[in-house]
Structure 1
């Protein structure tokens, strides 16, 4: 995301709070957008979900809104006027969305992208997984390309992506995420287990140049928590066909070129080394294997939307364990694995059980 562009990911309300845009999600489908301004009705009734716009903001840039269970994406300006939108009807009873609508700047050129869920694809019975394609648009919103996984030892070319996040380095260089269901034999205490695991792939010029699988690190199984989903650690497959035991939901590159990722069902922010094929985990922040000596009240619970700015890591901390959603900020020495400063910002009376985002401005 670029300065001055604000993204409301799968949201119900957007609130300006001093220097931070706070997004709180109360439901999966947006019924109303409230921007704390002067009421104005939309002229897109019958096409887009109903919403109200109140007031204006002088901040530069646009507000990007996407939805989990309806195929709508909207770009608003600071007055609440629609700059651009895309809508697609889906069959009655089908819940599918356009996810993760955002802006990219590559060598001074503006592009946009969103995730287009394939309504016919197997989502493993998981409400938080939407297999599909990443759609790249130019600055005039013309479709440039559609992206899926490239051939690797793990997936075939064309394997569908997960919709949580996507990093565009340039038009032929990007990092993607996916969820894969498989039977594994390395879960401690189980002869075998069906799981849904996280797969990340970096592609350059049509070739997979790096990837990462959570199942290659059996130490992660013991870190799974049930703050958000009771069956996340059901490795015996007693209540679910395959637990979503890590639930990747965000990634950013830090100044060293490492990939800093959020794993909701581990309560962990993890740093991955993109120069290695093995031993790729550099450090873990928060969770049961936290390496930064966080106090319990400094740890995240079921977090989303991690960002990195120099030595500062921010997260939208849903904090399902306490139902007290907040924004958290960690100033850290990444090499020394030391916490230098911790900050939190709470929106009183608000709880987002899933989804959400924030941006420092």
Structure 2
């Protein structure tokens, strides 16, 4: 996120989501994550809710449109109390609605026929949308993209790109009075998170998947697919506060494509087909303790249609904390669940493993009895041996979990490390534990301990619980970084077979790129992408950055 360290403790105000941007539209658009930390929050450290907004800003989110109206009223017309730009009322008064069918069945953000500017909830580069103006007993003509239709009929709007060059002009004519209303269907909404691509020199093949969101909750969150040339290939938009995370592409057995992400609008994993049509919304099922927990946003795995792995935060009362015997205390444990054809075939809870309480490095004041988030899982994957590898932020550790019985077979990192890691090799509040193509375990190390974030790779001998020292090409430990970042939350690392690594830097202080791809040997950058503040947000971050072909 491009921000600045010169943040004053002033009110941040953004314009309403429908308003066109102008120089007068935002008060103090310069504040970066630094103010969120300074103002008393542990910015997003809980990362458990759907909104992830600091308490100090929740009131501002609700007041922003009204405050903006008052402040921007003196901006020479930048804000109109009448709302969005209006079309000719002679025509719009005839219409009952305007609707669309876009990629994956996406509709319009607003169906109000008085609004001049229209936009789709989702759109695809090279795709099209069907647009219809509805009325009863009227006589109108709708002209767009070289075609003319009548009332209650769809006209096809193509989108060669997802930038303003593909914005479509639609003319609606009342054939009785001769009145004309001119609409614009935007290729992407005006409040889309802006980004720039810096270095782009022979990057790793594949499309980049991002989920830009505003941690202050002002702006609408998005899912993005960015093509290798830097152009926007696909977007999906939610209303402000309903964040989207962990956007990915999966090829299931048989070769079918599945797109998926966590969607706060439904508190579920949204699963779509190759055409971005909704297939299902996945939520957690009851756990063996009798509780049903809300699905969590951090990670999910699609093994096949109807076969998923997801995670939860298990808020519950326990009485098995070894350091506090005999006490019933409320904690927030971590849970993982495998669902197949509507049945929970395997469930795992951190609270069933009392030895893990002592492994916690943060949020572990159990005696306070206020839901200590002592483990805080943030990634899960299925290893080659069918067992699971999961990352736990507040254990500063990655665990391997045996799929057959839930036993923890090894712990890498943190106070309970079993691999003999040195201080330099240990990580702090890490994210995104994955197996690379060469078999090494990769981790994005936020490295909150000293502020120098990095990508790590471990070559593990799991039988002896040691780091491999006999393979110079794949050392037991390697750390990679390029353009310096101090990430205090989120992030991802994806190591490719050719030696490049793609890093999503998560949430960090200052002005720097949000995504960097670089050679692990030389540090030479091959790709950089930066999310920027806009007229709707003080700035955006992306939970992860991943490439899929």
TM range (shorter): 0.7 to 0.9
Matches within 5 A, 1:1-361: 12=1, 43=164, 44=188, 46-54=190-198, 56=200, 58=202, 59-68=204-213, 69=215, 70-90=220-240, 95-107=241-253, 108-118=255-265, 132-154=267-289, 159-190=293-324, 191-226=327-362, 232-237=363-368, 241-277=370-406, 280-309=407-436, 311-340=439-468, 341-347=476-482, 349-361=484-496
Q: Which runs of 5 or more residues in structure 2 are unaligned?
A: 3-32, 35-42, 45-51, 53-161, 165-187, 469-475, 497-549
Point out the structure with the larger helix share.
Answer: 2
Instruction: Measure the CA separation in 1 of the matches of 2:289 and 2:272.
Output: 28
C-alpha displacement at 1:146, in angstroms? 0.5
Instruction: Measure the CA separation in 1 of the matches of 2:210 and 2:243.
Output: 12
2:501 counterpart residue number: none
3-state SS of paired residue (1:219): helix
Q: Which runs of 5 or more residues in structure 1 are unaligned?
A: 1-11, 14-24, 30-40, 120-131, 227-231
Is the 1:225–1:265 contact (alpha carbons within 8 Å) kept by the matching residues of 2? yes
1:5 counterpart residue number: none
| Structure index of larger Rg | 2
Is the 2:428–2:446 contact (alpha carbons within 8 Å) kept by the matching residues of 1? yes
3-state SS of paired residue (1:296): coil
Instruction: Measure the CA separation in 1 of the matches of 2:373 and 2:192.
Output: 32
C-alpha displacement at 1:288, in angstroms? 0.8
Going from structure 1 to structure 2, the CA distance change for 1:152 and 1:216 (only over 3 Å counts) comes to closer
Point out the structure with the larger strand share.
Answer: 1
C-alpha displacement at 1:204, in angstroms? 1.3
Going from structure 1 to structure 2, the CA distance change for 1:258 and 1:242 (only over 3 Å counts) comes to same
Is the 1:47–1:87 contact (alpha carbons within 8 Å) kept by the matching residues of 2? no
TM-score, normalised by the number of residues in structure 1: 0.78
**Number of matched pairs:** 302
RMSD: 2.3
C-alpha displacement at 1:52, in angstroms? 2.3
Query: For 1:212-233, what per-residue CA distance to the aligned partner results, in whole angstroms no more than 9, with x for missing partners?
Result: 100011111111113xxxxx01
TM-score, normalised by the number of residues in structure 2: 0.52
Which of 1 and 2 has higher RCO (CA within 8 Å, sep 6+)? Answer: 2
Is the 2:258–2:271 contact (alpha carbons within 8 Å) kept by the matching residues of 1? yes
Query: For 1:193-238, what per-residue CA distance to the aligned partner results, in whole angstroms no more than 9, with x for missing partners?
Result: 2111101111112111111100011111111113xxxxx0111127
Instruction: Measure the CA separation in 2 of the matches of 1:156 and 1:97.
Output: 25
Instruction: Answer with 79-88 or 264-273: which moved more.
Output: 79-88
C-alpha displacement at 1:154, in angstroms? 3.4
3-state SS of paired residue (2:358): helix
3-state SS of paired residue (1:79): coil
